[in-house]
Amino acid sequence: MSSNTANEKLSIPYEAIENHILCSICLSVIRGAVLTPCGHHYCSKCITEWVGQKHSCPCCNSSLTTEQFYYNVQFDALIDEILILRDKAEENYYEKMFNSSPDVEILTTSPFEAILKRHFKASLLYHQRYYEKLQQELHQKLQCLEMGLSTNHQPMEDVESVKERLRENLAQSEKLVTEAFDKFLTEHIPSLDIIPVSISVYIPNKDLRIHDVIVKPTDALSDLKPIIELAMQERCDDVIIWNDDTGVRLLFGPLSKTVTYDVPEVLNNLHNLDDVHSLLWDTRPILQYKMRPGSEIVLQDVFKSQSDTPKRCFVNVFDENTPQTVDYFSCNKCSVKWICKSCIQICHAGHSVTPFVMNHRPNWACCYCPKRKLCRIQDK
C-alpha cells in the first residue's frame, strides 16, 4: 500500500457498521467485548447471564460455556474510537444544520439563539438515537423471525403476519413519540414576553435597592409587597402600613434606569418618555407593558415603616404591669448588645447590626444604649 493511500481518510456511514458493534442480547453498544468460538461478539455481562441459563449462542444456537469466552480488548478499543468519531460527526452535522440560515447578512449570534441551539442540539441527538434504537429492535426481531423460519419450519404466512405487525407497532410508536414531542415543544418553548423576568426594585426614600427580583407574567405590582416587606424586615425597619392611594410607582426600561432618579422631573415629562410607565398596584407589568429583563421599578412614599414613626427608647416605654415583647440587637461598631429596636434604628443608624435576642419579655427597663450614654431618643 502506498504512503498516499495509507493517508487517505475513509468515510464510512455509521449505519454501515452499527449492527456489527451492537450486542444482540441488550441491543446496545457492546461493552466488555466477548468473542465466542462461533465468531459472535456480545457484552461480557449479557452473554455470561445468557449462557448461565441457556448454555448456547443466542445467534446460532451453538453449544457454549463461559470457559470458551475470549475477551476482545482490541474490539473494545475499536468501539470506543467509532463512538468518538460518531459523536464528532453528529456535532458537525447539527452545527451545519443550525448554521445554514438563508439570511447570510446576519453576522452575529444572539445569546438567545446560542441557548436554543445548545438545548435543541442535545435534544435532537437524544431523539435521533432513540429512533435508531427502535429501528435496531425491529431489525433484531425480524432476524429472530428469519431464524425461527429456518429452524422451526413456521408457515411463511405466519411469519409475514408477525413482521407486518412489528412494522405497524414501530410506525405507531414513532407517531406517538413525534406527536408527544411536538406537543411538548409547543407548550414549553415560550416567547420572551411570557417568561419570568429578573428586575430590580428601588425605594429612594428608604435608600433601598432590591436586586434579582423574579416577576412572572401574571404577577401584579402588589405581588412585590412581600418581597419589599422582607427586605425592610432584614434592615430592622418593618413596614407598618401601605399607602395604596398615594406615592409614586414607576417602571423604567433597562436602558432608561439610572443610579438615582429625579422623580418630580420624571413625572413632569412622563408623556415624553417611551420607556417609562406609571403603574397601579393591580398593574401586571409584563403583560401590560412588556416589562423586560433588567428593568427597574421605582417606588416612593408607598408605605410607612417603623423608622417613620416617632421613636422612644424601651427604657421610657417599659410598663412593669403590662407584658411586653422586645427585639434586642447588637451593634458591632459600638460593641454593645441588648439594644432595643428604636435605638438601633435611630442611634445606631448606618452601623453594622445583628439580631441578638428576639421576642424577649424583659422584667425591667432593659436597653444598654442609654446605659452606654449613646442614646439620642431617651426622654430627659
Domain holding 66: CATH number? 3.30.40.10
**Same structural domain, 35 and 57:** yes
pLDDT of residue 339: 97
pLDDT of residue 215: 93
Residue 352 binned pLDDT confidence (cut-offs 50, 70, 90): very high
Q: How far apart are CA 369 and CA 339, in angstroms?
A: 6
Q: Is residue 376 part of a domain?
A: no
**Is residue 150 predicted with pLDDT exceeding 70?**
no
Residue 147 binned pLDDT confidence (cut-offs 50, 70, 90): low
**Is residue 344 predicted with pLDDT exceeding 80?**
yes
pLDDT of residue 42: 93
pLDDT of residue 278: 95
CATH code for the domain in which residue 212 is found: 3.10.20.90
Q: Which residue has the cell 475470549?
A: 70
Residue 285 binned pLDDT confidence (cut-offs 50, 70, 90): very high
pLDDT of residue 290: 87
Residue at which a domain ends, from 100, 130, 162: 100
Q: Which residue has the cell 429501528?
A: 135
**Same structural domain, 299 and 271:** yes
**Is residue 149 predicted with pLDDT exceeding 60?**
no
The residue with greater pLDDT, 231 or 309, is 231
Boundaries of domain holding 22 = 12-100
pTM: 0.46
Contacts 24+ apart (CB under 8 A), 140-143: 140/24, 140/27, 141/166, 142/166, 143/24
The type of residue at 354 is T
**Same structural domain, 295 and 315:** no
Residue 88 binned pLDDT confidence (cut-offs 50, 70, 90): confident
**Same structural domain, 237 and 177:** no
Residue at which a domain ends, from 100, 129, 144: 100
**Same structural domain, 131 and 150:** yes
Q: Is residue 212 part of a domain?
A: yes
How many structural domains comprise the chain?
4
Query: Stretch 75-91: mean pLDDT, rounded?
Result: 86
**Is residue 34 predicted with pLDDT exceeding 90?**
yes
**Same structural domain, 222 and 278:** yes
**Is residue 100 predicted with pLDDT exceeding 50?**
yes
**Same structural domain, 301 and 202:** yes
The residue with greater pLDDT, 347 or 3, is 347
Most confident of the following: 92-101, 134-143, 161-170, 314-323: 314-323
Q: How far apart are CA 145 and CA 141, in angstroms?
A: 6
Q: Is 314 exposed, middle or buried (0-12, 13-18, 19+ CB in 10 A)?
A: buried
Q: How far apart are CA 119 and CA 112, in angstroms?
A: 11
Q: Is residue 4 part of a domain?
A: no
- Residue 268: how many other CB atoms lie within 10 Å: 10
Residue 134 binned pLDDT confidence (cut-offs 50, 70, 90): confident
Residue 2 binned pLDDT confidence (cut-offs 50, 70, 90): very low
The residue with greater pLDDT, 330 or 111, is 330
Residue pair 222/283 in contact (Cβ under 8 Å)? The answer is no
**pLDDT tens per residue, range 185-233:** 777 666 655 678 899 999 999 999 999 999 998 899 999 999 999 999 8
pLDDT of residue 154: 58
Q: Which residue has the cell 444572539?
A: 110
pLDDT of residue 303: 95
**Is residue 128 predicted with pLDDT exceeding 50?**
yes
**Is residue 327 predicted with pLDDT exceeding 80?**
yes
**Same structural domain, 134 and 211:** no
Residue 109 binned pLDDT confidence (cut-offs 50, 70, 90): low
Q: Is residue 167 part of a domain?
A: yes
Residue 308 binned pLDDT confidence (cut-offs 50, 70, 90): confident
**Same structural domain, 284 and 328:** no
**In sequence order, what DSSP letters do the residues of 292-330 get, joined into one string?**
PTT-EEEEES-EEEGGGSPP--HHHH--TTS---EEEEE
**Same structural domain, 296 and 212:** yes
Residue at which a domain ends, from 82, 100, 118: 100
Cell of 289: 407593558
Sign of CA dihedral 215, 220, 226, 231: positive
**Over pLDDT 70: what percentage of the chain?**
83
Residue 105 binned pLDDT confidence (cut-offs 50, 70, 90): very low
Residue 380 binned pLDDT confidence (cut-offs 50, 70, 90): low
**Same structural domain, 210 and 171:** no
Q: How far apart are CA 324 and CA 316, in angstroms?
A: 13
**Is residue 136 predicted with pLDDT exceeding 90?**
no
Q: How far apart are CA 153 and CA 146, in angstroms?
A: 10
Q: Is residue 2 part of a domain?
A: no
Q: Is residue 19 part of a domain?
A: yes
**Is residue 11 predicted with pLDDT exceeding 50?**
yes
**Same structural domain, 243 and 301:** yes
Q: Is residue 243 part of a domain?
A: yes
Q: Is residue 287 part of a domain?
A: yes
Q: Which residue has the cell 487517505?
A: 8
pLDDT of residue 139: 76
pLDDT of residue 325: 92
Residue 1 binned pLDDT confidence (cut-offs 50, 70, 90): very low
Q: Distance between alpha carbon 91 and the CA centroid of its chain, in Å?
A: 23
Beta bridge partners of 43: 33
**Is residue 70 predicted with pLDDT exceeding 80?**
yes
